[in-house]
Structures are given as C-alpha cells and as structure tokens.
Amino acid sequence: MSQNVVGLFLVLIAVANAVKVPVTIYYESLCPDSAKFITEQVYPAVKGELRDYVDITWVPYGKSHFTTQGADVLFECHHGQNECYGNKVHACAIEHIQANSYQTEFTRESLTLDFINCMMKVGKNFDDNVYPGGRCARDNHISAWENIQQCANSTEGSHLLKKQGEATDQFQNPLTSVPTVVFKQRFDAKENDMAMSNFLSVACKYIPQPQPKVCMALNSAVATTVTPILGLLAYALVQFF
C-alpha cells in the first residue's frame, strides 16, 4: 500500500472519528441504576445504529472515595469493597482491552462496550459464586482477561481507579447521582434525567446530518405529534381573538 493511500486512509478515519458525539458515563460496577441504564439504554442504542456516531468515555467510580498512604491507595465504595474490586476490574478492562488484527469485526470500543455490558448485566448474581470477569471476557471475544485480572489485583488497578476518581471529582465533587451521563463535555441535568429512560433520543439531538435512520424516525415521530398540537393551539388563538 502506497504512502498516499495510507495517508488518505488515516485522514478518512480522523474525519469519521471527528463527527462522533463524545459521551461520558459516570457509573459504579455494582449500582443497580447504573446496570439498568447501561444494559437497557446505552448498550442497545450503541450496539445498534449509533455504533458509528458516539464515542463513549467510561468512568467507573461514582460516589467512591480514595485516600493515599504512601504508595498505597485505599478506597471506600458506595456498595462496599466488592464494588471497589469491580470498579478496578472495569478500570483495568478499559485500559487493557485491545482489538486483534485478525478480528476485524471488533474494535477496541465495541469489545469494551460488550465486556462492560456483560459485567453490569450479571451484577451481584455470580453463577456458582464465581466472579464473572473470565466468562464475560470469553463470551465477548476478549483475550486480555489474565492481564485485566492481574491489573485489578495489583497496584496498577489501584492507580487506574484513582485516575477515574480524579476525573470524577474534577467533573463534580461530590457526584450528585449515579449514573450520570454527559454529552459533548457539557452537563445538562434535564438531559441527564431524560437519558436515563431514553438515551437514544438525547443522543440523536447531538448527531449532525446525515443522521442514522433511527434518529430520523424519532424526529419524524416528534414532528407528527407536535404538528397537530400546534394546529390546535393556532385554532384556539384565532377563536379567542
């Protein structure tokens, strides 16, 4: 492949990535509300037609707290120490999951999405009391589980989770609600609340033209609903005046 072709290819990738809507999700590994939001709202939308239109930054920390003692980092988590470990697993997965050149159907982002969705779906219900990380990795074509596990059980996992905590505190300290979702680095409380039950509709507001079919269908449905209402209001105003 010539250098010109390679250069053009890189430019096309850059352009494609530039139009993606940045979405940041602050969540906790054992939070029921986080699990519901990710598995029922985010995953179906991003795994479906929005897969090429949003770029998710995962921040698995929530309402945790950390203190440092020398080289050690100690955590207190919203749902106990099991959640601290789960948050470390998520932080390590975000760091270590990579796509393989022989699995072109998967990207680093899609593999991370699949792994996080699986982990959140399982929640506290571990089959045979076995932590689900290995199973979620195997079921979702992720070969890095050993690296993720080693990371979570070492100082690397603690330092990665500390970074997630610093990112959370920089955004909002203390975090008001878990989960919290931010579109295009600007937090809007009303959009956050709306996204909890309709992530797709809020995400579509930020996707530029040409939009995916699912967004065009939403826009059409809104227009169909709003037009008769506007007509009724106009008629009422005419009658009133």
| C-alpha distances in Å from residue 59, one per residue of 40, 54, 155, 156, 178 | 18, 16, 18, 16, 11
Q: How high is the mean pLDDT of the chain?
A: 87
**Does the predicted model carry a pTM greater than 0.75?**
yes
Higher per-residue confidence, 173 vs 17: 173
Q: What is the pLDDT of residues 18-75, one digit of tens each?
A: 579 999 999 999 999 999 999 999 999 999 999 999 999 999 999 999 999 888 899 9
Domain definitions of the chain by residue range: 22-207, 209-241
Name the nearest CA neighbour of 95 among 141, 137, 152, 38.
152
Using DSSP's 3-state secondary structure scheme, residue 10 falls into helix
Q: What is the pLDDT of residues 140-163, one digit of tens each?
A: 999 999 999 999 999 999 999 999
Name the nearest CA neighbour of 35 among 93, 91, 108, 118.
118
pLDDT at 5 over 90: no
Per-residue pLDDT, 29 = 97
Higher per-residue confidence, 240 vs 52: 52
Q: What is the pLDDT of residues 175-217, one digit of tens each?
A: 999 999 999 999 999 999 999 999 999 999 999 999 999 999 9
pLDDT at 220 over 90: no
Domain 22-207 part of CATH 3.40.50.2000: no
